[in-house]
Amino acid sequence: MRDLYRFIIWILSYKLITGQDKPIERCEKVREYCKQDHPINVPRCMENYMRRCSMIRSRIPVQGYYAQNLSDSKPMLETKEGIIVHISSEALQKSRNEGMNTDLKVSLVNKTFFVTNSSPEVIYGENVLGVWLGVNEIRNLSEPVQLRYNNSNQNKNVSCVYWHLDQNGNGYWSTEGCSTNVTNNEFVCSCNHLSFFAVLINPKIPEENHIVHLNYISYVGSALSIVFTATVVIMFFCQRKKHSENSIIIHAQLAGSLFLLHVSFLCSVWFSDRSDQVCTTLGLILHWCLLATFSWTAIEGFHLYLLLVRVFNIYFKRYMLKISLVAWGVPTVTVMICGIIGKYTSVYGKYAIHEEKDRSTNASICWITTQTVISYVTVNGYLGLVMIFNTVMLAVVLIKMHKLRSQDVQNKLNKKRLWKDWVSLFGLCCVLGVPWSLAFFTRVPLNLPVLYMFTVLNSFQGVFLFLWFLTLTCKARKEEFVPSKGTINVSFQSTEEHITTNVISNMTEKK
């Protein structure tokens, strides 16, 4: 008999050591387990484990974790952080009907694990509240559950949201099924399901009609930009034999990168419902095209620096070859590294932009799915550095133009040239990619108008680039046939070169 007991103990020990039939983590340890072993998607990990974890508690309480067996007479749980969770009788009854127990598990998770693609929302407090009841999902309740938050800061403009997890494990904040009631003392969130909940201050979730309008603007603008950037590239190469200035080649490459960006954007939207492999490839291509566009706008700013600051000493051996290797090479190396990382973690894939309430339609795109260092460094950080440099260059141009026009006031030519200055300034803004900087201003309270401006200006950037180029072409041809005194004749030159030659011409006249 003793030998039988020893054999059974040996078998159980062997299974525990080898990992077979490993016991499920205790609920109080799930949060730390997910942070350590699944830091990329903690909400998805907790959703999987909290529904089947063990309710056995340790003697030492864990901060931010609460568990309680509910009954009809006591259907609520209060946390030390001042949050009251009130479970409706329908939710309790539904739990019993499906054979589940009524153990309520509540866990507070740091808000840094809930980040969207657009921008970090302002979340009330430091944590997001996760609520689970039993094993299966509780949803579509006619009698909603209530979450009561203490309104210590007397905020009024708030919205109750939950973290919606799609089939790919990605998440975003949604107000579906939740209503908000604000009083002087507390926020009352009434939701017809259980999930991760939070209260957003100055919520930045556009209404559905705005999202539809923004999508149509993006599609129409991108389609037109494809046509006009292709036209710009053709016109540039038609003039290349006669005019081989470096600025022309740089502009052609910028137009080409914009062409590829808008084509890849539309393909990423239209083919987002294809296989995971197709969507992953399209997401990588879209990332590469976006970085290439940022790189060529940076090259435009660098070339502008040479024209305005260095002026005469701007010769570099194999100049175009070097800047082309940088502008196309940096995005290539970046996406290659991201692709290697993607073998271990899903970097690219289907990302849900918006889902209708009835879930009949789902706007999605093939893009970066992991909102970690990859997204913030390669997109936000890179764009920020480019915009800082190009903004400085644009400020230098404005100073130069102001000095010239202050001299023109004496000659009574200021009013005649004012509209030309505005056209030149708008053209430079398009070339330097200034509209991209609006992405950093969508976090302000009035973010909806900024979002419309960002969508219009960047979607139609190819159209604006074509109009700017057409204006320069007509102006250059006019100057070829009608030269004016004190002006250096130029053919097919960029706005930067035109401003520089004006500076040199005025200096020559003074001498």
CA-to-CA distance for 349 and 37, rounded, in angstroms?
22
The per-residue pLDDT for 175 is 82
| Res. 167 pLDDT band, cuts 50 70 90 | low
Let me know: does 105 contact 27? Beta carbons within 8 Å: yes
What tokens were used for 505? 């011409």
User: Which of 407, 367, 341, 384 has its CA nearest to residue 40?
Assistant: 341
| Res. 211 pLDDT band, cuts 50 70 90 | confident
Q: Which residue has better confidence, 373 or 146?
A: 146
Whether the predicted pLDDT of 90 surpasses 90: no
The per-residue pLDDT for 284 is 92
The per-residue pLDDT for 20 is 37
Let me know: does 168 contact 205? Beta carbons within 8 Å: no
Instruction: Specify the amino acid at residue 130.
Output: G
| Res. 115 pLDDT band, cuts 50 70 90 | confident
Q: Which residue has better confidence, 228 or 202?
A: 228
Q: What is the pLDDT of residues 415-463, one digit of tens each?
A: 556 677 777 777 788 889 999 998 887 654 446 788 889 999 999 999 9
> Which stretch, 17-31, 35-49, 114-128, 256-270, has highest mean pLDDT?
256-270
Q: What angle do CA 104, 110, 115 make, to 5 degrees?
A: 110
Whether the predicted pLDDT of 254 surpasses 50: yes
Q: What is the pLDDT of residues 257-268, one digit of tens each?
A: 999 999 999 999
Q: Which residue has better confidence, 132 or 499?
A: 132
Average of per-residue pLDDT across 298-306? 89
Delimit the domains of the chain by residue range: 20-201, 208-510
Q: Which residue has better confidence, 315 or 4?
A: 315
The per-residue pLDDT for 26 is 81
Instruction: Specify the amino acid at residue 89.
Output: S
191: DSSP letter: E
Label the pairing between strands 362-368 and 158-165. Answer: unpaired
Whether the predicted pLDDT of 295 surpasses 80: yes
Whether the predicted pLDDT of 470 surpasses 80: no
CA-to-CA distance for 55 and 59, rounded, in angstroms?
13
Indicate the Cα dihedral angle 232, 234, 239, 241, nearest 10°: 140
Q: Is 259 helix (H, G, I), strand (E, B) or coil?
A: helix
Mean confidence (pLDDT) of the chain:
76
What tokens were used for 167? 């089939």
| Res. 505 pLDDT band, cuts 50 70 90 | very low
> Which stretch, 57-71, 203-217, 281-295, has highest mean pLDDT?
281-295
Q: What angle do CA 336, 294, 263 make, to 5 degrees?
A: 75
Average of per-residue pLDDT across 36-45? 84
The CATH class given to the 208-510 domain equals mainly alpha
| Res. 471 pLDDT band, cuts 50 70 90 | confident
| Res. 341 pLDDT band, cuts 50 70 90 | confident
The per-residue pLDDT for 298 is 94
Let me know: does 154 contact 184? Beta carbons within 8 Å: yes
Q: What is the pLDDT of residues 117-156, one digit of tens each?
A: 544 567 888 889 999 887 777 888 888 999 998 877 666 6
Whether the predicted pLDDT of 22 surpasses 60: no
The per-residue pLDDT for 42 is 87
Q: What angle do CA 205, 202, 174 make, to 5 degrees?
A: 30
Average of per-residue pLDDT across 194-204? 79
Q: Above pLDDT 90, what percent of the chain?
A: 21
Whether the predicted pLDDT of 3 surpasses 60: no
Q: Is 132 helix (H, G, I), strand (E, B) or coil?
A: strand
Whether the predicted pLDDT of 16 surpasses 50: no
Residues 6+ apart with CB under 8 A from 212: none
Whether the predicted pLDDT of 7 surpasses 50: no
- Each as own residue / partner, the long-range contacts of residues 120-123 (CB below 8 Å, 24 or more positions apart, any chain) are 120/443, 121/173, 121/200, 121/203, 121/204, 122/200, 122/201, 122/202, 123/198, 123/199, 123/200, 123/201
| Res. 486 pLDDT band, cuts 50 70 90 | very low
Average of per-residue pLDDT across 347-352? 77
The per-residue pLDDT for 268 is 92
Residue that is written with structure tokens 């708008």 in the block: 426
56-65, 101-110, 304-313, 471-480: range with lowest mean pLDDT: 471-480
Indicate the Cα dihedral angle 446, 451, 457, 461, nearest 10°: 150
The per-residue pLDDT for 241 is 55
Whether the predicted pLDDT of 377 surpasses 90: no
Residues 6+ apart with CB under 8 A from 99: none
Q: What is the pLDDT of residues 388-416, one digit of tens each?
A: 999 998 888 888 777 766 665 555 555 55
Average of per-residue pLDDT across 184-210? 78
Q: Which residue has better confidence, 321 or 55?
A: 321
The per-residue pLDDT for 484 is 41
CATH topology of domain 20-201: Chondroitinase Ac; Chain A, domain 3 (2.60.220)
Question: What does the longest C-alpha to C-alpha distance in the chain come to?
Answer: 115
